[in-house]
Every structure is written in structure tokens, then in C-alpha cells.
Amino acid sequence: MFSKIFITFIAAVAVTAQGIESGTLTQYTTIPSSFTCGDASGDGPVIAVSPDMLEEFGCGHTVTVFFGTGASATSATATIGQLDTGITSLGNIKGPIILFTALGATGPGPISVTWEP
């Protein structure tokens, strides 16, 4: 009985450790700031995030970006690697054109960003 309770507790902690943020993806054409994470060599293109999101996710963390809704939703992997102090909302990100191409997006649009610990 104790082991079942322990496994349930661990599973609940794992689920709550994953996060989802919603926001808008916009394109940057140059590096948004002079700050670039030393660990920004993860999977996918490097994205720029707000100070709050950088604190929440962590530098160099790999995230999944979802674009669109329902059956037409697409996803791509990206790495948090740049700070953009002009971004004020937690879920808003800026990415290079390669991220738009991977998502099949032609311009700015609503996205969701997920991450796992």
C-alpha cells in the first residue's frame, strides 16, 4: 500500500513540474540583446524570452513550441537562449525565421510553449 501511495505522489509531482505558457511568437532578425546564454546549444533554434520566462524556464532549457489549434496545430523544438527585455508577457517569445518555417507559420501568431523539468 505504501508503495502505491509513493508512486502516486511521485507521478503527481512530475505532472505539476511540467509547465505550459501561452503567448505570441514574433520574428527577430538580429540578436535581441547582448545577453546570450552559455548553455544555448540545445535542440532547435534559439529563442528570445522575457526576463520572467527566462527565470521560469531557465537558460539553455529545451522547450516545445506549438502553433495553431486542433488538427492543424504544428510543433517544433527550440532552446531558450536569449533575453529580450522588450518582451513583457511571460508566454511571448521571439524566434528566428527557421522556427517559423518549422512551424509552417507565415507571420506572428498565437503559440503555446511547454517544457519539462
pTM as predicted:
0.72
C-alpha cell at 39: 548553455
Each residue's pLDDT tens digit, 7-28: 333 333 334 446 788 888 888 8
Q: What pLDDT does 20 receive?
A: 80
Determine the CATH number of domain 19-115. Answer: 2.40.40.20
Structure-derived torsion over alpha carbons of residues 101, 105, 106, 111, reported in degrees to the nearest 10: -130
How does pLDDT run across 73-92, given as a tens digit for each residue? 899 999 888 888 888 887 88
